[in-house]
Structure 1
Amino acid sequence: MRSRFSAFAVGDVDYLLSTWHPSTRPSMLELDSELRWYRLDIVDRLAGGPLDSRGEVEFEAFWRSSDARGSQRERSSFVREGGRWYYVAEA
């Protein structure tokens, strides 16, 4: 989750797509260049430990633009395949 947030913060679309599970991954992704993501708070976690193959993370990500600021809060589901975690969808 933290690495995906960092990718949003720096605009790394390739990383975001490569960590998105193929079953739900879009063919392309456009990020809003006006938003600056600057803080991530992990609110809750369900599973997702070293021995788990699935997990959920509830988070709040904070952004600002030239004329506004706000946050996005969601619970996301992840799956581990081949030793690697992939974002699946909003839970």
Structure 2
Amino acid sequence: MASSHGPSVKDDDTYEALRKQGASKEKAARIANARAAGDKPSARGGKSAPYEEWNRDDLYDRAREIGIKGRSEMNKSELIRALRSH
């Protein structure tokens, strides 16, 4: 039985399974909450251009915001990969 992870996690079983598979707390919570909501996209999603259309400086800034390590050594395609796998 999964324990409660607080009100920010809507599907404790999915969260716990993802954590056991090695997902970060943030990623596990994001997926668990999406599943609890029926995998419906949020109303505000999809307004940003795909990462391929961003310039490297903007990608770098986004990577810095979310704390991706090693970002200063990454080129544009590596930053895109790191952002998508975060």
- Class of the TM-score when normalised by the shorter of the 2 chains: under 0.3
Larger radius of gyration: 2
- Choose between structure 1 and 2: higher helix proportion: 2
